[in-house]
Amino acid sequence: MCGIVGYIGNRNAVPILIEGIKRLEYRGYDSAGIAGISNNNLFCHKSVSKVVFLEEKVSKLDLDTNIGIVHTRWATHGEPSIDNAHPHVDCKGDIAIVHNGIIENYDLLKTHLESDGHVFASETDTEVLAHLIEKFFDIDGDFELAVRNALKHVVGAYGIAVINSKEPDKLIAAKNGSPIVVAIGKDEYFVASDVAPIIEHTKDVVYLDDNEMATITKDGYTTKTIDNVPTSKKVEEVMWDIDMIERDGYDHFMLKEIHEQPVSILNAMRGRFDHGNECLVKLGGLEGHEDVLAKFNRIVIIACGTSWHAGLIGEYMIEAFLRTPVEVEYASEFRYRNPVVDSETLVIAISQSGETADTLAGVKLAKEMHATVLGVCNVVGSSIARESDFGIYLHAGPEIGVASTKAFTSQITALYLLTLYIANLRNVTTLFNCNLVEALKAIPDQVASILKKENEIEALAELYKSSENFLYLGRGYNYPVALEGALKLKEISYIHAEGMPAAEMKHGPIALITKDMPVVFIAIQDAAYQKALGNIREVAARGGKVIAIGTEGDDSLKEKADHVFYIPKTIDMLTPLLSVIPLQLLAYKIAVMRECDVDMPRNLAKSVTVE
């Protein structure tokens, strides 16, 4: 969601902060602001819209400071405006704070503070924190204690960074439900909501846990709980390189990440097959938990958005292989009801960022109900990864584009491997397992072959870029792909699109079919192929335009569809890894032709860390 970067050290913080927050623009935002301390005086400057406008503003001011914080805001309380942009300051103009999350009791706190004489300049919940810290600092004269006491009164989620001109050599950060990482350089320290802004400076980081606070000077840092109990933190190494968060010649991060999928899928598999028996899968993150994984009798998968679609594919595969019942739940619904979960349940939480607020809350609820939690995440050290009992990392590399692409195919790959791994634990090992492994190893090259036909998708996009509605239909393993294809188009081109099981078209949506309604069919030669052909005929009979994703060699499909894009043949359950690629490209090409901001679509953020 919003982005935070903080710095304290011997260099001028301003250019470091500006360049750092640029690396978080992908998270989605509507305004930006920076604060620092110069000659013991606090300065704060803000702008609406892009970071470049903030950069232009501060470049004219010749600011020089060794400490500072910067923020990109995604509006929750109050419209995008200069007043509502972060950082927010206290009445005296000494304390500045940036904040990700939502303060749920801010109305009550604001009323009390106003009765004490505090004057507010914004509509935000965050400004309450600045005044609350001011109140306690006036009482005790101790910056660290004031922050701690203020946070004890807060209900809600926060990731914060705070500075105070009365203690200009100190930067304080704290976390509860919204990620904060402290990065350790040479005689300098960084705070951020994501590792992207800091990896050009250092790869040594410490991840704060919930209800934990870091007090940082240029000479070192300490961490304590909000209740003032010292904590010991492990310094971890970020494995990403700066080149991985650059566009590398591509017009957009999304296009780069689509083209990275042959490698990202391979990386999800790399080192995870037994050298002695290639039919067997080994997952280091699950070692020592074999007994638990062999015995559970029910699985619940929780996720949001694209990760939920990956979970649906996992459900189909796990049930087919293991004959174990699986439910896939939206994490936002799972957490707000009383789900049937117990010690015999395995909960699989899927999240690219590992910070999705609803999924993280679902993990905590599942653990409270004595379930075992397995996390499937891309970001090492993320909150869900740390909260889970054990898990699987995707190793997809950083995904910058808001619309997830390579993380989706990596999640599916991880779920295939998990299914094979558990099948072996339960002695459900057959020749088909080996055939599946061989087919899975062929997928990266097959994806690469699809990407070489990008020009065919571009021609389709040109034909349908002006359409206002799309329908995506699939069956079996490719029904979730239909959902995902529709989501991608909605996210980045702002065209209304719906995905559904092909058979459900007859139960209402067929009424929408006209010559102006493109219908995308995933009509590969799988177990449901003949049924898909019947659905295509129904659309064609009503004048609908049919775009079919077919299997190479199926020449007869050309007679039934207006357009056919062919993908290589593979085992039925692996087809989502191939069929989704042309749908990602179609959404991307249409969005570019409609002049949409592909990497930062309106109203969306990469990681949804608030409800």
| Domain spanning 454-593: CATH superfamily | Glucose-6-phosphate isomerase like protein; domain 1 (3.40.50.10490)
Is residue 165 exposed (0-12), middle (13-18) or buried (19+ Cβ within 10 Å)? buried
Bridge partners of 70, per DSSP, are 5, 34
In the chain, CATH 3.60.20.10 covers 3-241
* Residues of each domain in the chain carrying CATH 3.40.50.10490: 247-448, 454-593
Which of the pair, 207 or 432, is modelled with greater confidence? 207
Is 493:318 a contact under the CB 8 Å cutoff? no
How far is the CA of 60 from the CAs of 49, 53, 64, 69, 564, in angstroms? 18, 11, 12, 18, 55
Q: What DSSP line would sit under 176-240, residue for residue?
A: EBS--EEEE-SS-EEEESSSTTTTTT--EEEEPPTTEEEEEETTEEEEEETTS-B-----EE---
Average pLDDT, the chain: 91
pLDDT for the residue 249: 86
The answer to whether residue 290 scores a pLDDT higher than 70 is: yes
Q: Which H or E run includes 35? A: strand 31-38
CA dist 346 and 354 (Å) reads: 18
Q: Would residue 279 show up in a list of annotated catalytic residues for this protein?
A: no
Q: According to the model, what pLDDT value does residue 562 have?
A: 92
Which residues, 6+ apart, have CB-to-CB distance to 112 below 8 Å? none
| Residue burial 347-384, b: 16+ Cβ < 10 Å; e: rest | bbbbbbbbbbbbbbbbbbbbbeeebbbbbbbbbbbbbb
DSSP structural state of residue 380? T
- 337 against 587, higher pLDDT: 587
Model confidence at 217: pLDDT above 90: yes
pLDDT (mean) for 592-604: 89
Q: Which of 2, 279, 377, 596 is catalytic?
A: 2
What span, in angstroms and rounded, lies between the C-alpha atoms of 171 and 193? 15
pLDDT score at 51: 87
Q: Catalytic site residue 453?
A: no
Give CA–CA dist 544/150, Å, rounded: 60
**Closest residue by Cα to residue 35 from 61, 482, 52:** 61
Confidence category of residue 508, pLDDT binned at 50, 70, 90? confident
**What's the CATH fold of domain 3-241?**
Glutamine Phosphoribosylpyrophosphate, subunit 1, domain 1 (3.60.20)
State the catalytic residue, choosing from 22, 175, 560, 606: 606
pTM of the predicted structure, to 2 decimals: 0.84
CA distances from 545 to 453, 514, 532 (A): 21, 8, 15
Give 531's pLDDT tier (boundaries 50, 70, 90): confident
Report the CATH architecture of 247-448: 3-Layer(aba) Sandwich (3.40)
Measured CA to CA in angstroms, residue 522 lies from 312, 439, 525 at distances of 16, 20, 10
Q: Which tens digit of pLDDT belongs to each residue from 174-187?
A: 999 888 999 999 99
> Is 221 within 8 Å of 144 (Cβ atoms)?
no
